[in-house]
Copies of this chain bind each other. A is one copy, B any other.
């Protein structure tokens, strides 16, 4: 069987709902599809529910499903993936929490759960903690800065458990909580003890940190503690290149977004961030297209191009930017299509989830997907829209089904049965 190279282009947060400013059309209903009109007309289209209808995907869970891992059974909670999104490289068994810089008084009563929210010194504070905290009970601790007051904290060592409670009281005017084991298990007891030591040490460190003295001098609340919530224990994921049900020798992900890069690395992709690719709305998308074509020429089996700007524009509610970025994404697709042998590729364009401009956050709406291969049942569509996609050949796929379909069109899917 001919094995085709698979090229997947994701415009993050692509799908939308009717936008009042666009006369209740969606961005996809107003963009110019002419750069890919020939390719689109020869493609099969459909809808994809990244997890299942009625579940709002994160970028992490959506990417797991897109690349063949059902997150409903294989997800350790947000802690580890927040850490990955903040740049951590996790190992199975690591315990990770989501955390906040916060302000407490002398009795450890929470005064401000977000330490004023805009913690400009967050990067420096994190470095200060990491340089000074040392190991706790033989367990290595790493703090990672996410955004604003948000951090992730990773504990690495033998015999740790995620069955421990939060230290974040999720309210102000009450004391920081002691972490407690959530089941009678020596590992959970040990972990809770370490977490409580972490809290005490971090509070000591931050209370004496010159950066906080400076904050107080400027009339800002000191970021003098880190509150933890949502412990999760990292699990191991099957590498795409080692799976028995699909045949993938080499896979590359081209992205500038830490969370997506982290998920792809977990799944066995090589990860590349081309120069000029920032993950922002001003990212140089054509540099990604050029790199994608390079990897196509090197014979990579699976080439993934992730475009973040569409999602960023959606979170900002910026209609014009989203339209512009979708059109740029189509040019990426067109650039690639013009440079590959269309008889020997499966070329896919989709969103990883919906981020409606009116909602400014991910929703559970299904996303339109376009799959070109020389032998698909073409739908002769002139647009790829939320409304029209449901009439297409692919129907409505969910979760890992789309991955299976792509593997099948590319001749890479093992038979289940005799």
Give the CA-CA distance A406 to B56 in the complex, in Å: 12
B415 touches A58 (CB 8 A): yes
Does A114 count as interface, using CB distance less than 8 angstroms?
no
B377 touches A358 (CB 8 A): no
Does A78 count as interface, using CB distance less than 8 angstroms?
yes
B375 touches A358 (CB 8 A): yes
Does A308 count as interface, using CB distance less than 8 angstroms?
no
Of A51, A356, A416, chain B has the most CB atoms within 10 Å of the CB of A416
**Residues of B contacting A60 in the complex (Cβ-Cβ under 8 angstroms):** 417-418
Provided the pairs A71-B417, A408-B364 are in contact, do residues A397 and B53 lie with their beta carbons within 8 angstroms? Answer: yes
Does A55 count as interface, using CB distance less than 8 angstroms?
yes
**Residues of B contacting A358 in the complex (Cβ-Cβ under 8 angstroms):** 375
Does A116 count as interface, using CB distance less than 8 angstroms?
no
Give the CA-CA distance A276 to B407 in the complex, in Å: 40
A8 to chain B, nearest CB (A): 14
Count of residues in A whose CB is under 8 Å from the partner chain:
61
A416 touches B58 (CB 8 A): yes
Does A402 count as interface, using CB distance less than 8 angstroms?
yes
Does A157 count as interface, using CB distance less than 8 angstroms?
no
Does A75 count as interface, using CB distance less than 8 angstroms?
yes
Least CB separation from A26: chain B residue: B377
B81 touches A418 (CB 8 A): yes
Least CB separation from A386: chain B residue: B377
B377 touches A56 (CB 8 A): no
* Residues 369-410 of chain A, each 1 if its beta carbon lies under 8 Å from chain B, else 0: 000000111100000001100100101110011111111100
Hey, which bits of chain A sit against chain B, CB under 8 A?
Answer: 1, 17-18, 26, 47, 51-62, 71, 75, 78, 81-82, 85, 259, 356, 358-366, 375-378, 386-387, 390, 393, 395-397, 400-408, 411, 413-418
What are 16 A-B pairs at a CB distance below 8 A?
A18-B376, A18-B377, A26-B377, A47-B395, A53-B401, A54-B397, A54-B403, A57-B415, A57-B417, A58-B416, A61-B416, A259-B418, A358-B375, A359-B375, A365-B408, A377-B387
